[in-house]
Amino acid sequence: MTDKSGNSSPHSEPSNGFSGKYGPAQPGYGNSQQTTTAVVVTQPGYAGQVVTMPRPPDYMAASIFACLCCFWPTGLCAIYYASQASNLAAEGDMAGATSMSNKARNLMIFSIVMGVIWITLVIVLRVVVYKTYNKYDY
């Protein structure tokens, strides 16, 4: 121990690890500073990859053409599926958009084929009917 003048007294207590009146300063108690350590754990192996799928075509213009010019019942369904394909692609669901796009394409092609068949049938029947009724005209 030291006296007021800063000299050590001849009868100082032996140092046994105690500091202060109530014992040693322990970490986490009293005025001691606490430090925190952040532990970052990384695992080797898979590095994240972003897979981007291209936006599938929606066939909206072709579906409208098929509806107006060829066979309207399946053309309307093709327009519906083309609209759904566009909406799903905007939401980021490329698998669903591809599925709807394929349905719109198939219905659009079916509508065009049915329209061509229908127009051909009407023309053929018109020519046949015209010939049979005008057979006896002089």
Return the closest-CA partner of residue 107 out of 138, 66, 56: 66
pLDDT digits (tens, 9 = 90+) for 84-117: 999 999 998 889 999 999 999 999 999 999 999 9
Residue 119's domain comprises 60-133
Mean of pLDDT values over 68-83 = 93
Residue 36 lies in a domain: no
Is 21 inside any structural domain?
Answer: no
Q: List own/partner pairs for 63-67 with CB under 8 A and 24 or more apart.
A: 63/104, 63/107, 63/108, 63/111, 66/107, 66/108, 66/111, 66/112, 66/115, 67/111
Top pLDDT among 41 and 54 is at 54
Report if residue 23 sits inside a domain.
no
Q: What is the mean pLDDT of the chain?
A: 78
Number of domains in the chain: 1
* Interval 21-50: pLDDT, tens: 555 555 555 555 556 666 666 666 666 676
Q: How many C-beta neighbours within 10 Å does residue 94 have?
A: 17
Q: Is residue 76 part of a domain?
A: yes
As a whole number of angstroms, the distance between CA 9 and CA 4 comes to: 10
99 lies in some domain: yes
Name 88's Cβ contacts closer than 8 Å, sequence gap at least 6. 94, 96, 97, 100
pLDDT value for 14: 52
Length reported for the chain = 138
